[in-house]
Structure 1
Amino acid sequence: MAVRNPSAHVDSWYSRSATPSPARPPLQGRDTADVVVLGAGLTGLSAALELAQAGLKVIVLEARRTGWGASGRNGGQVIFGYGCDQAKIAAMVGREASKALFDWSVEGVDLVKQRIADHGIDAHWRDGHAHVAIKPRHVAELKAWQADLADTYGYGVQWWDREQLRAQLDSPRYLGGLYDPRSGHLHPLNYTLGLARAAEAAGVRIHEGSEVLSLQRGARPVLRTAKGEVQAGFVVLAGNALAYRIAPELDDKIMPVGTYVGATEPLGEERAQALIRNGMAVADINWALDYFRLSADHRLLFGGRASYSTLPPPNLAGTMRARMTRVFPQLRDVKFNSVWGGLIDISLNRAPHWGRLGDNVYFAQGFSGHGVAATGLAGRVIAEAIRGQAARLDAFARIPHRNFPGGRALRTPLLVAAMAWFKLRDALW
């Protein structure tokens, strides 16, 4: 997770294979805008693009490089839904509201594909995603989920039994899976950088190396950095796990969690395609899940592990390789060329936490590891609200959110203990 230098992206297969992107100058002095956005990740850039296309002057302030955080180093899986089960959302807001929120999550998936096409982004998009079962209880859960998706939400996914799944996925580990042809996967850093170029083409100014140090609220709020400030009619806070103390009332609603991904050495086209014949992305449904897919240059990109203390696990590469060979025993001779991690933001109920503070400060956080599609939707929904159409943001704001228990001193140890129980459940049941 170390940074090679302050102006570089974190070393990963993504940063090594990304389309070159120019460094953007830091903010110097005072400026004004219609909207100022904290964070040049997927949420902030999505909001900025939508607002600029509507004719507003937008300035984006980024502490490091565009896409430096989770937007540029995640697992790259683009999936409908949110970080928690849709049934949990229905219990919180009601069935009809839950149906609308689900439909909007599918819009988020389609929005990613639309922006790739509209702006010519080289994001390595591939169609297809499967949630897979390791244990008999997973089979029952997935079949119940398939029925609920069809009956309640009108969304069809395919159940593949063990034989059907094995025809596409050469792993002995899984008993079956739900396949969704509409979801898919991409190169997240290339997508984020492409979104930045599209925003700039629409008139957005992005300042890198411009960490926001404070927010001054009021009729025309101000974001301040070490060397400048921007006053605007509206502020969008899109720093997620990396923003802290800018709006203290938001901080205790999310917890930073470390997640990790590795890229193998090149496998060659024939060997790679033999692993996942249809090129889909895959995730199991354990609490401490594994997820994986193929890269455009025929590597296996394998994600797993999570650190609820935010400290990288010891011998990360060795642990990841052990998890990979449990899925694909035929890769025992294969090593990782790079392993990297980063912080995501989880909410206590794993549901999205989007809304406003007062009349002119908007925020989106709590993507809970399910953000590649939802972040784009969040930016669009916030842009709609700033332009006076707040119905969709109000629907998200009705999802109740509580602080993590334990305060600053105890909330991380409490979460670590809770996650240990879920991992034990994965192992024993």
Structure 2
Amino acid sequence: MPAPTKSRHAGVSDEPMNAASTYPPSWYADSAAPLQEQPALRGSIDDADVCILGAGYTGLSAALELAEAGYRVVVLEAERIGWGASGRNGGQAIVGYGCEQSTLEDLLGHDAARTLFGLSREGMDLLRARIARHRIECDWRDGHAHVPVKPRQERALRAGIVEMAQKYDYPLRWWDRRRLRDELESDRYLGAVYDPASGHLHPLEYAFGLARAALAAGVRIFERSPVVELVRGARPRLRTPQGEVAADFAVLAGNAWLRGVAPELESRVMPVGTYIAATAPLGVERARALIRNDMAVADVNWALDYFRLSRDHRLLFGGRASYSSWPPPNLRGVMRRRIHNVFPQLDDMPIEYLWGGYVDISLNRAPHWGRLAPNVYFAQGFSGHGVASTGLAGRLIAEAIRGQSERLDLFAKIPHAPFPGGRALRTPLLVLAMAWYKLRDALW
């Protein structure tokens, strides 16, 4: 059994994280099969067709698509492959986007929203296909449930099932409280919307699998090579402290970690801290008693809880998002209380791992994908729904570079405003807004 591990990210730790460390401690990092470290960039490369910032799901997916089409691709990663949200997220792969379909209808109309939803289904199919084709051992499991805590949430979810069937030809199942209890050993929820097409996986092992496939296809990946400047022009250049890459096309896939490279993109997303606890192993029988069908579960509060089982029979429980740059006080105690609210029968079970990371949210929670220039592409704003949609983003950017941009152009039509308040005030304003939504969750 692994020893209890300190959390080190976004201020969660008792000590500052060393930027030269390999991966922040987590159950994911301890349980993933190691991936050979790639070299740092030294000197200049000028024979690349495409240079990609970021070795997370988006960047690796785009790199893989392009390399398989014969492009010479270089990927620059500031830390390690999958070091950011791709290696630390909740592992839940869900059809759809971070916003409701009604938001996309309001922004673009029903026909475009329907096309976008169809693309999200393609993203889920692509995720499954890549896992199978490249034999990625990432603990894929079928099934996801959204669960209501309040009657108003139940009404909204049940109405949503009808709407998704009528408008989008997407079948979802309603489970009443008794049916849910057949699968989930908790009295907290009023029912569930069950989606057999969604599911969950081991996030870091999936990132490693994409990287192995990309390397096998000829992609050059450089780790510990932070991009410090994007030089735009006929052949954009991405500069690092010890080198640079000139290419015909550049792709920015840094999400919450662009670090000043493209201020016009950073103003339209906000880094949000999210946290995950892993209990000690429960044992096969006790774990299966909690979630009998091994699905992933998420409630629909604004400050949501989400949870699933690991392959070694732990409960992986996430939530308690932080909209400031500081982690919540007494995070371990907070996570224990949240677990107790769902599974009071686990009061005797210690938390062995606790870690955090940033996801990027857009103001309207819709995906923000497109181009900054004819030869500079980007994708960001996954808003907590990136496990499947990042792969789609990578494919659509690769299509656009190859001359077929219609599908990416549809995403580029989604309007995105910067967060209000500028760099100085946008975080305090968001914290105040989130406090209101949390109060609404508690009172209504």
User: For the superposition of Structure 1 and Structure 2, which TM-score range results when normalised by the shorter chain?
Assistant: over 0.9
**Structure 1 residue 204: Cα displacement:** 0.3
Determine whether 1:426 maps to 2:441. Answer: yes
Determine whether 1:234 maps to 2:262. Answer: no
Q: Name 2:350's counterpart in structure 1.
A: 335
Q: Name 1:79's counterpart in structure 2.
A: 94
Structure-to-structure mapping, 1:45-194, within 5 angstroms: 45-194=60-209
Q: 1:409 to 1:41 in 2, by over 3 A?
A: same
**Structure 1 residue 64: Cα displacement:** 0.3
Determine whether 1:16 maps to 2:30. Answer: yes
Q: C-alpha root-mean-square deviation of aligned residues, in Å?
A: 0.8
- The residue identity in structure 1 corresponding to 2:379 is A
Number of equivalences: 429
**Structure 1 residue 338: Cα displacement:** 0.5
TM-score normalised per structure 1:
0.99
The whole-number CA distance in structure 2 between the counterparts of 1:134 and 1:264 is 23
Structure 2 residue aligned with 1:265, among 263, 280, 286? 280
Q: Name 1:381's counterpart in structure 2.
A: 396
The whole-number CA distance in structure 1 between the counterparts of 2:32 and 2:22 is 12
Runs of 5+ unmatched residues, structure 2: 1-8, 10-15
The whole-number CA distance in structure 2 between the counterparts of 1:243 and 1:336 is 32
**Structure 1 residue 310: Cα displacement:** 2.4
Structure 2 residue aligned with 1:6, among 20, 36, 43? 20
**Structure 1 residue 239: Cα displacement:** 0.3
Q: Name 2:326's counterpart in structure 1.
A: 311
Structure 1 residue aligned with 2:406, among 369, 376, 391? 391
Q: Name 1:38's counterpart in structure 2.
A: 53
- The residue identity in structure 2 corresponding to 1:19 is A
Q: Name 2:368's counterpart in structure 1.
A: 353
Determine whether 1:247 maps to 2:262. Answer: yes
Q: What is the DSSP-based 3-state SS (H/G/I as helix, E as strand, rest coil) of the residue aligned with 1:401?
A: coil
- The residue identity in structure 2 corresponding to 1:302 is F
Q: Name 1:225's counterpart in structure 2.
A: 240
The whole-number CA distance in structure 2 between the counterparts of 1:222 and 1:78 is 34
Deviations 1:180-210 (A, max 9, x none): 1110000000000110000000110100000
The whole-number CA distance in structure 2 between the counterparts of 1:49 and 1:14 is 23
The whole-number CA distance in structure 2 between the counterparts of 1:274 and 1:57 is 50
- The residue identity in structure 2 corresponding to 1:126 is R
The whole-number CA distance in structure 2 between the counterparts of 1:160 and 1:4 is 47
- Is this contact kept in 2: 1:352–1:365, CA < 8 A? yes
**Structure 1 residue 7: Cα displacement:** 4.1
- Is this contact kept in 2: 1:34–1:58, CA < 8 A? yes
- Is this contact kept in 2: 1:4–1:11, CA < 8 A? no
- Is this contact kept in 2: 1:255–1:346, CA < 8 A? yes
Structure-to-structure mapping, 1:352-371, within 5 angstroms: 352-371=367-386
Deviations 1:306-341 (A, max 9, x none): 110021111111100100010001001111101000
- The residue identity in structure 2 corresponding to 1:203 is G
Structure 1 residue aligned with 2:416, among 393, 401, 408? 401
- The residue identity in structure 2 corresponding to 1:296 is R
Q: Name 2:304's counterpart in structure 1.
A: 289
Query: Post-superposition, which runs of at least 4 consecutive aligned residues in structure 1 deviate over 3 A?
Result: 2-5
The whole-number CA distance in structure 2 between the counterparts of 1:91 and 1:300 is 38
- The residue identity in structure 2 corresponding to 1:135 is K
Choose 242-251 or 395-404, whichever is displaced more.
242-251
Structure 1 residue aligned with 2:41, among 27, 30, 43? 27
